[in-house]
Structure 1
Amino acid sequence: MRPDQQETAETFLRRKAKNLEFFKRRFPAIYKHYGNLLMKRVELVVSPVESDVDLHVDGKSLYQGKAKAVGVREAEMFLADNEPYEYLKTFRPPRASGYTYPRLGSNMIRRCLEALPDQGEEFVGYPMGNFFPFVVFLGCGLGYQIEALVSRADVINALVFEPDEEKFAASLFTVDWESICEKFLSRKGYDIRFAIGVDATNRSLKELLERNLNKRVPLHPTMTIYFNHQACGINRSFAEEIRKDLPTLFASWGNYDDEMKRLNHTAFNLRAGSKFLRNSATGTFHKPVVIVGSGPSIDERLPLIRQSRDRVTLVSAGTGLKALINNGVKPDFHVELDPDYLIYQLLSDIGKEKLKGITLIAVNEINALVPELFDEVFLYAKKDNPAPIGFRLERFAFEHCNPTCTNAAFAIFQQLGFRNFFLFGTDYGFKDRTKHHASGSVYGSRDEDSEVSVLLNDLAQKHFLEGKLIEVDSVNGGKILTRSDYFTAMRSVENMLRWARERDHDVQVWNCADGAVISGAPWLAPENFEEKIDLILNDAAQEPIPMDVIRGQVETHQDPELEERFAKVGTFIEARADQVRAILHSTSLRGKKDVVRLMSPLIDASQVVETPKGFDAPQPEQFVAQHVLRGTLMHFMTVGLCHVMAAGGDKDAVPVAETWKDSFVEFLKAVPGHYSKVITDQRSGEGERWLRMTIHDRETAVGG
């Protein structure tokens, strides 16, 4: 700035100081980062003749000297493109047919939906009214477009995403962030948040945006409207990638019924004083580990496994076990992740005799009947689950185990120091709807004498032959079909591979399945498998036997305070349920906006664990309580938000909102007694009955 612009310069400097003081009070993390940040790549340029400014980034003008004018024009264009009472077309409201399990949470959501108008096939979108439920600003720049929009429109929730930390630093000079933010912070039910990239790559920026969006469910994705500053192509690509990955978001929600089943199994396994596998690598091991799922390509590849059986460590994952055993191949280890009683039924159908000599590695949530089928059993915990914190299992917790058994098998062996992996039957898709699993698996042929075979094949008929499928790239070129849960599993493997290689470049993974392309795992043709095994074994001949490595990480876990911990979880569940009820009763529901204004406090209640009075940190059992409730809270919130917003106007929305609120409150009242009867009141026998119930069986506990 030139000397004759001194007065203007002082104005900008005062504005920055004021903004920093505001962020210090309300967003201390932003203040901490920007308090002393120097702008090295960007320069704020003040026009000598007009009341406007420009921003130069790496020497190039962003606004051609008219940043204010550009911001106002963008806000006006956004409002023109999103006129009041037009339809927002994102995702359909939930329907009763999506909640079929005869359990407490699912029952109550289904009854709620049955009492609401069914949007059905005629649904065309959400009539938006004269406000915006959730605006995501893709790019902040100098902030004038944000300032202009919030002064012209009623935005209830906002996320400001700026990939470039120095651009945001420049905005501290140009707009009054306190004035912008107070439009949200001073009003009940309004919310604004920031996501700013720091030394970020495109991948980490996409993950930053996705992570912050996922914290705003159900506003995201159903009510998300993007405001893309300067029509930025990179930011648009982030939004498109996130949209493509939405199946992974939906798959991660969970629900109260499933979490209670998992917690009940955990209780039985911990009470039994089980042996656990420590996550403590004692070295680096290169002997080949072959992980086998039950994808259809395993049928063609099984001769390779049989031929090399004694030269590799063979690990079956989930339903991959039966595909191996039915073809005369017995693995060293079998990994289980699914907690349902169905797993016990499947393994019982194989028979205890055929399971002899196989070491079971199972999640702490495994049905407590399963371990009795194996001679040797080691449990593990998942680090992305609160059980390790809540029940003192941190040293047994492994990263990236979800969402399938093949993910868990790879995660465990990789984190224990193994470095060479061959993935078989990990197709994550199929060419033919009628051949979606290996012929030797439980899905390969219908056994009328097996209850579980009949059930699973009936479900397969529904999901594979009649269900909605998507396309993904095939290792052989072209496309194959897949389901959203398989897509989620594939993405999880790819993320885990990146995570593992960031920590150890020595990790090698080959995709020996003839299904979907797995980024980071090159496809290995059948004729090259033996050669790879030979090369690896030549270099690893002196390494210890993998079975000895695994057994060296085993210890028995005993917790004398276990029952006290479960009681505390129940206390915190009741407190959280009371908190959510208080939020629901905090305002009269007179229209759509009132329900949208409930979303921010409800989202916080479902996702944030606060420090209780009298303590200096959240208690471990709080995280378990929050996790048990979170999924069904999110489902209830989604039902309310979507069905209220789908109503024609406020008059139609009010009875929908009241019905939803009453159903939600009924669930919250039932939860504490339900938890007690299943988990802490061992005399009731309910928890033991649950061991022999699948998620499809009607429960007998409170409210079931």
Structure 2
Amino acid sequence: MTKRAGKLSPPALAIGWRNPRLLISPRGPRILSGFTGNCGKTPPLAMAKKTLVERNWDAFRKRQPDHWALLKEIGKPVSKLVTGDGEAVNIDLGKIRLYPEAGAKWTGDQIDQYFLNPDRITFTDPWHCNISDVSAKVLNRLTTRLIENGLSKGEGRPVTDTGYAFVFGVGLGYHLPELVDREICRHIILIEPMAEFIIHSFSAIDWGKVFNAASKKKMNIYFLVNDNPEEIVDIIGKVILKIGATFLDGSYAYIHYYSWVLKESRLLLNQTIKNYYVSPGYFEDEIIMMSNTYGNFTKWPFHLVTRKPYLEQAMPVFVVGSGPSLDKDMPYIKKWRDRVIVFSCGTSLGILLKNGVRPDLHVENENTPELVDNLRKFQKKYGFDGVTLVVTTSVHPDVGALFENRWYYFRAALSSSVVLVAGAEPLLGADPLVSNAAFAVSAAVGFRNIYFFGVDCGSRVGGAHHSKDAVYYQDGYDNFAEGESLEFIENQLNREAPANFGGKAMTSWCLDLSRLCVSKLQRLRQVNLFNCSDGVKIDGAKPKAAAAIKLTNPPAMQKNVLSQIERQLLYYEAGAFLDPIDLAKDIEGCDVFIKGFKKMTAGAKRKDKGFWDFEQRLEKFWNDNYGELKAVLKITGGSFYAILRLGAFLGNRILDEKKRLEFMRYFLDEYCETCVWMARETKKLLADIDQRKTELSQVGVTTPDP
């Protein structure tokens, strides 16, 4: 929950005015949606000294030209500036004013009280750093070092190098010079629902001085003008993903004035903050996915789904997840079975087969042993005749043995989708869950009419988390992935969201991320997408009760449609896809990486003053070498950055600057040793694949310290 600044009465916002959406970076703005209106006249330039307002218009024209243009489009603001003694005092909203008293004084008091107990986004432990066995070993050594040096009780939050300040509300802007002067972060994101308030601020503060002061302190200022909380948080996420999440821990959240938009945005930011720490994978997992991709390509013939254009298919597709609303919709799936392609997702395969519905396509995304075990049980009980397996290349090769027909696709961002892709294009939007993959595949191969069932992305308040026939509810079921349990799944549903058919539903950070990814892909694909699930609302998917479905297309055409699609897919016999792949340069690149990485970290030990400086050096190393070293960088990259976040989490809580620097130098030694080890293990794997060995060497296995 957002902290209130002492006993100050918050200013109020009562105008409901729809603004264009704008995101501005330090190198210029990017308009996210259009706006209309007649451009206002440029303020006349005084013959003598320019006024504050004129100087501010000039500052925006120079520093933020697109934002300057947006503000000019507004024309005459609806609200009115209130002045007194030649200064901007308040903003008149009609029946109420923005501030309960003079804006400068009120803001000064607010600033003072805020910093007595600032609202900061902090993590209580380092497990958000995507810790795996490799990084856990580093964590153990780092914590031992802290204990030995009497630093195990570090500050509860970072004392340096805070990444972000999310400032909810610009208003007259009297708080902004102070926030910059305090140098509270590296990136200030200014969120303002009312663009015209920025115009009013031109009469209050000197924006040129604010921009100059931020530049001298190497701080970046971003503007985000929007009055939709979900869109605000979505854009914030894009900024964080672009800049990086290493220093998100400890970021400030400052609500300047009260409005529902700002309050809701702040709450949503708290709920979604974990999404921004989602890593593209860690080293051990990338090793598994590389090995599995190699195994799948050498063992099985398959068709490959890529991003090339396919003929449109009018036949509807029912994408079926395992959400709780599937139970009540099962009769409608049966009713229309002969007129649709049924696409099962993960554990919904067993649910459908148990209820007498044999899907046409079945999708899997994970590489876990539990997945293989579940499928073997389903196959033994029901058989998979007539079901085409649709999977990412990185699933365990044993999955392919259970099906007669296979479609593979590459998931974007995985190392195997860079190193072993052989010119094919990874599928867009196939993450994070199997329902995302089913939607991505369906849209990619030309289906235009797609219906979601049991894709609840959560559940109704107080309801079950899965269909009653899901394997999780079977007596004695204990085939959960490591760290999971029935109770674990239930406890994940801790976030409230709008429901598909009205009201509220509960979701988790991962299910919510899945929903957002569906919406993002739908904006690109623009298919006819219907959500029949009684769970969380998915933007871009039209809510539709299953009982309202009416289909008139001819029945029993599934085989013809799938055959037509397969004729457009590229087909490969076992081993053939790997024929053009030569990894000699990638193998050599591992040695180049090791030499360059040692040199880079040695330079950091001599010159860098903190983790922020080192991250800039690390980013340069990555960008300068990605073209030549992309194989080793993609395979090690997840842990490469996760371990840095781990070091920054611990080191930036050390209050004493000298001891903090000593800790960072110790970290750099451990970091370099670990990254060099990962590169050597990567080289072994690449060499085995390049030699087309039948059995790959066991690599990437770390042994814990005694």
Q: TM-score, normalized by length of structure 1?
A: 0.73
Q: How much does 1:332 deviate?
A: 1.0
Which letter maps to 1:150?
Answer: V
Q: Say whether the 8 Å CA contact 1:218–1:637 is kept in structure 2.
A: no
SS in 2 for 1:631: helix
Q: How much does 1:555 deviate?
A: 0.7
**1:193-234 superposed Cα distances (whole Å, 9 cap, x missing partner):** 43455x997765543333113445446642221344555654
Query: Separation in 2 of the partners of 1:295 and 1:265?
Result: 29
Aligned counterpart in structure 2 of residue 207 of structure 1, from 222, 234, 248:
234
Query: Separation in 1 of the partners of 2:279 and 2:171?
Result: 33
| Residue 282 to residue 249, structure 1, CA distance change in 2 (3 Å) | same
Q: How much does 1:409 deviate?
A: 0.2
The residue that corresponds to 1:490 in the other structure is 515
Q: How much does 1:320 deviate?
A: 1.7
Identity %: 17
SS in 1 for 2:484: helix
Q: Which runs of 5+ in 2 are unaligned?
A: 1-41, 572-576
Q: How much does 1:243 deviate?
A: 2.4
> Residue 669 in 1 paired to residue 694 in 2?
no
The residue that corresponds to 1:581 in the other structure is 601
| Residue 468 to residue 456, structure 1, CA distance change in 2 (3 Å) | same
| Residue 418 to residue 685, structure 1, CA distance change in 2 (3 Å) | closer
SS in 1 for 2:583: helix
Q: How much does 1:397 deviate?
A: 3.0
Q: Say whether the 8 Å CA contact 1:134–1:156 is kept in structure 2.
A: yes
SS in 1 for 2:49: helix
Aligned counterpart in structure 2 of residue 552 of structure 1, from 567, 570, 594:
567
Pairwise CA RMSD: 5.2
Which letter maps to 2:682?
Answer: Y
Aligned counterpart in structure 1 of residue 361 of structure 2, from 326, 333, 338:
333
| Residue 304 to residue 604, structure 1, CA distance change in 2 (3 Å) | farther
Which letter maps to 2:638?
Answer: G
Q: How much does 1:631 deviate?
A: 3.4
Q: How much does 1:376 deviate?
A: 1.5
SS in 1 for 2:184: coil
Q: Say whether the 8 Å CA contact 2:120–2:252 is kept in structure 1.
A: no
Aligned counterpart in structure 2 of residue 91 of structure 1, from 108, 119, 122:
122
Q: Say whether the 8 Å CA contact 2:52–2:202 is kept in structure 1.
A: no
Q: Say whether the 8 Å CA contact 2:688–2:696 is kept in structure 1.
A: no
> Residue 8 in 1 paired to residue 49 in 2?
yes
The residue that corresponds to 2:532 in the other structure is 511
Aligned counterpart in structure 1 of residue 349 of structure 2, from 321, 330, 333:
321
Aligned counterpart in structure 1 of residue 372 of structure 2, from 319, 344, 351:
344
The residue that corresponds to 2:390 in the other structure is 361
> Residue 81 in 1 paired to residue 81 in 2?
no
The residue that corresponds to 1:599 in the other structure is 612
**1:436-459 superposed Cα distances (whole Å, 9 cap, x missing partner):** 4445544243668xxxx5454983
Q: Say whether the 8 Å CA contact 2:45–2:54 is kept in structure 1.
A: no
Q: How much does 1:380 deviate?
A: 1.4
The residue that corresponds to 1:372 in the other structure is 401
Q: How much does 1:651 deviate?
A: 8.1
Q: How much does 1:492 deviate?
A: 2.9
> Residue 260 in 1 paired to residue 287 in 2?
yes
The residue that corresponds to 2:457 in the other structure is 428
Q: Say whether the 8 Å CA contact 2:229–2:262 is kept in structure 1.
A: no
SS in 2 for 1:8: coil
Which letter maps to 2:570?
Answer: E
**1:530-584 superposed Cα distances (whole Å, 9 cap, x missing partner):** x62xx32348999994313421331145562442464376468647855873575
Q: How much does 1:420 deviate?
A: 2.5
SS in 2 for 1:373: coil
Query: Separation in 1 of the partners of 2:651 and 2:638?
Result: 20
**1:253-305 superposed Cα distances (whole Å, 9 cap, x missing partner):** 53333233223333444567853113344443332211222334445544543
Aligned counterpart in structure 1 of residue 188 of structure 2, from 159, 167, 181:
159
Q: How much does 1:15 deviate?
A: 7.7
Q: Say whether the 8 Å CA contact 1:138–1:226 is kept in structure 2.
A: yes
The residue that corresponds to 2:9 in the other structure is none
Which letter maps to 1:93?
Answer: T
Which letter maps to 1:94?
Answer: D
The residue that corresponds to 2:21 in the other structure is none
Map 1:324-473 → 2, pairs under 5 A: 324-351=352-379, 354-383=383-412, 396-429=425-458, 436-438=465-467, 440-445=469-474, 454-456=479-481, 459-461=484-486, 463-464=488-489, 469-470=494-495
**1:124-156 superposed Cα distances (whole Å, 9 cap, x missing partner):** 9836769966433445578664334333x2334
Q: Say whether the 8 Å CA contact 1:251–1:488 is kept in structure 2.
A: no
Map 1:197-276 → 2, pairs under 5 A: 204-218=231-245, 221-228=248-255, 234-252=261-279, 254-269=281-296, 275-276=303-304
Which letter maps to 1:673?
Answer: R
SS in 2 for 1:323: helix
Q: How much does 1:7 deviate?
A: 1.3
Query: Separation in 2 of the partners of 1:641 and 1:547?
Result: 51
Query: Separation in 2 of the partners of 1:169 and 1:687?
Result: 68
Map 1:81-160 → 2, pairs under 5 A: 81-83=114-116, 90-95=121-126, 101=132, 103-109=133-139, 111-113=141-143, 116=146, 126=156, 134-138=164-168, 145-151=175-181, 153-160=182-189
| Residue 689 to residue 18, structure 1, CA distance change in 2 (3 Å) | same
| Residue 667 to residue 396, structure 1, CA distance change in 2 (3 Å) | same
Query: Separation in 2 of the partners of 1:654 and 1:604?
Result: 16
SS in 1 for 2:551: helix
The residue that corresponds to 2:14 in the other structure is none
The residue that corresponds to 1:615 in the other structure is none
Query: Separation in 1 of the partners of 2:397 and 2:661?
Result: 46
Q: How much does 1:316 deviate?
A: 1.2
Q: Say whether the 8 Å CA contact 1:259–1:628 is kept in structure 2.
A: yes
Query: Separation in 1 of the partners of 2:276 and 2:697?
Result: 28
The residue that corresponds to 1:643 in the other structure is 650
Which letter maps to 2:639?
Answer: T
SS in 1 for 2:472: coil
Query: Separation in 1 of the partners of 2:465 and 2:56?
Result: 62
Query: Separation in 2 of the partners of 1:398 and 1:447?
Result: 37
Aligned counterpart in structure 2 of residue 287 of structure 1, from 315, 329, 332:
315
Query: Separation in 2 of the partners of 1:336 and 1:229?
Result: 46
For these two proteins, the number of residue pairs brought into alignment is 650
Q: How much does 1:333 deviate?
A: 0.9
Query: Separation in 2 of the partners of 1:14 and 1:481?
Result: 49
The residue that corresponds to 2:583 in the other structure is 563
SS in 2 for 1:567: helix
**1:17-63 superposed Cα distances (whole Å, 9 cap, x missing partner):** 68867x5xxxxxx56x4798882325799999967579999999999
SS in 2 for 1:427: coil
Query: Separation in 1 of the partners of 2:604 and 2:493?
Result: 35
Query: Separation in 2 of the partners of 1:434 and 1:15?
Result: 54
Query: Separation in 2 of the partners of 1:331 and 1:666?
Result: 49
The residue that corresponds to 1:619 in the other structure is 627
Q: How much does 1:405 deviate?
A: 0.7
Q: Say whether the 8 Å CA contact 2:130–2:642 is kept in structure 1.
A: no
Q: How much does 1:361 deviate?
A: 1.4
Q: How much does 1:374 deviate?
A: 2.1
SS in 2 for 1:222: coil
Query: Separation in 2 of the partners of 1:679 and 1:216?
Result: 31
The residue that corresponds to 1:591 in the other structure is none
